[in-house]
Amino acid sequence: MIRVERLVKHYQVHARAPGIRAAVRSLFKRERKTVAAVDGIDFSIAAGERVGFLGPNGAGKTTTLKVLAGLLHPTSGEVEVAGFRPARREPDFLRSIMLVTGQKQQLLWDLPPSDTFELNRAIYDVPRARFQEALDELIALLDLSPLVGKPTRQLSMGERMRCELAAALLHRPGVLFLDEPTIGLDVTAQSAVRRFIRSYNERHGATILLTSHDMNDVAALCPRVIVIDHGRLIHDGPLPELVRRLRPEKRVVLALSRPVSRADLETLGIVHAHEEGRAILQVEPGKLTSVVSAALERLPVSDLAVEDPPLEDVLADLFARAAPGAAAAT
């Protein structure tokens, strides 16, 4: 469904030192530098996959999504989405994809979302019966009944995002690019958006490529992750494999019925956190069973859980290991 080969996207940007002299000098001589936003990445995504596209700020995630959506021309490389070359922006291609960004909205600000829905029906040329069917489904899944008649400006951020998703999906695109879809939303709204994305993927077999800094989004939605840093691909594979490869240790979370000393905890493993009534131990996977047995035997444990390290920590490790100086700036 999505094929990316040796994708490169370089930008030319003006470079100017701060200060009035540099400003005046730049009137006569402008210096340019090349920024390698994406620097030769390859991946492919099969129809119906949900893939997380991760990386630190400036890694090239949004640039890649824009190339895939046809908003940017690649500097070089091959890109194919749903059988089309995105840069040509053919109408049938635009009908088969959608890019939803958490920070830029398409809803008409002063009109109710129902007007945007109707406008999109006309623009995407969706037959009336199919539109009604899609709209009914989206209203039910996203609980939009009380919202569709209110002016968009009166909706909360979470309500707007739900309406935004509905407007984006009325024409049932087969490929969905989501750029930070839960940014700025409260926990309840985030959870509703995640549930909906998963449900849309399962019902319609849509291919989903999602960027997010919220690892809960990724953990909840993406069995596979592609990680880029400085425009280069540094991991492509299942999420658990990434965690196992980088941080194989487990975390034993203990709820304690009375205080225990740090020394007692250190006999079992590395103490990651220790506070009254709660401790987290970092344990090698091979020693997990013995540590759990010992903890239950020696400590006043009222509850115990075994977890993977947080995904944020795993990615921080990954970015720290990635070779520095990969960003080309000439």
Partner 1 sequence: MSTARHVARALPTMLRVSFAEMLAYRAELLVWMLAYTMPLIMLALWTAVARDAPVGNFDQRGFQAYFMVTLVVRFCTSAWVVWEMNFEVRQGTLQRRLLRPIHPMIAYACEQAAALPLRVVLMVPIVVATLLWLGPSILTRDPVQVALVLPTILGAWCLMFLTNALIGTLSLWWESSISVFEVWMGLYFVFSGYVIPLSLFPDWLNSALDWLPFRYMLSSPVENLLGLCSRQESLRAAGVQWLIALLLAVALWRGWARGVKRFQAFGG
Interacting residues toward partner 1 by CB under 8 A = 11-12, 63, 66, 69-73, 87, 89, 91-92, 94-95, 97-99, 104, 106, 108, 110-111, 115-116, 118-119, 121-125, 151
Question: Which of 120/182 has CB closer to partner 1?
Answer: 120
Identify which of 295, 243, 245, 246 has the alpha carbon closest to the alpha carbon of residue 269. Answer: 295
C-beta of 94 vs 253, nearer to partner 1: 94
Pairing of strands 270-275, 97-101: unpaired
- Which of 84, 247 has the CB closer to partner 1? 84
Using CA atoms, how far apart are residues 51 and 176, in angstroms rounded to an integer?
Answer: 11
Distance from C-alpha of 50 to C-alpha of 28, rounded to nearest angstrom: 50
Q: Token pair for residue 247?
A: 């941080």
Cβ at position 85, least distance to partner 1 in Å: 12
Task: Name which of 105 and 282 has its Cβ closer to partner 1.
Answer: 105
How far apart are CB 312 and partner 1 at their closest, in Å? 28
For partner 1, give the closer residue by CB, 66 or 251: 66
Cα–Cα distances in angstroms (integers) from residue 186 to residues 54, 151, 161, in the given order: 21, 21, 11
If the CB atoms of residues 53 and 311 are measured against partner 1, the closer one turns out to be: 53
Is residue 231 a contact partner of residue 326, using CB atoms and an 8 Å limit?
yes
Q: With respect to partner 1, which residue has the nearer C-beta, 94 or 288?
A: 94
**Chain centroid to CA 205:** 19
- Of the pair 168, 242, the CB lying nearest partner 1 is at 168
- Secondary structure letter of residue 144 according to DSSP: -
Place of tokens 């304690």: 256
Q: Least Å distance between CB 93 and partner 1?
A: 8
DSSP-derived 3-state class of residue 247: coil
Q: CB of residue 109 vs partner 1: minimum separation in angstroms?
A: 9
Task: Please name the amino acid found at residue 168.
Answer: A
Q: Closest approach of Cβ 277 to partner 1, in Å? A: 49
Least gap, CB of 138 to partner 1 (angstroms): 19
Q: How far is the CB of 11 from partner 1 (least distance, A)?
A: 6
Angstrom distance (rounded) from CA 207 to CA 184:
24
Local structure of 320: helix, strand or coil: helix
In the bound complex, what is the minimum distance in angstroms from residue 251's beta carbon to partner 1?
41
Backbone phi, psi, residue 67, to 5°: -65, -45
Beta strands 301-307 and 207-211, pairing class: unpaired
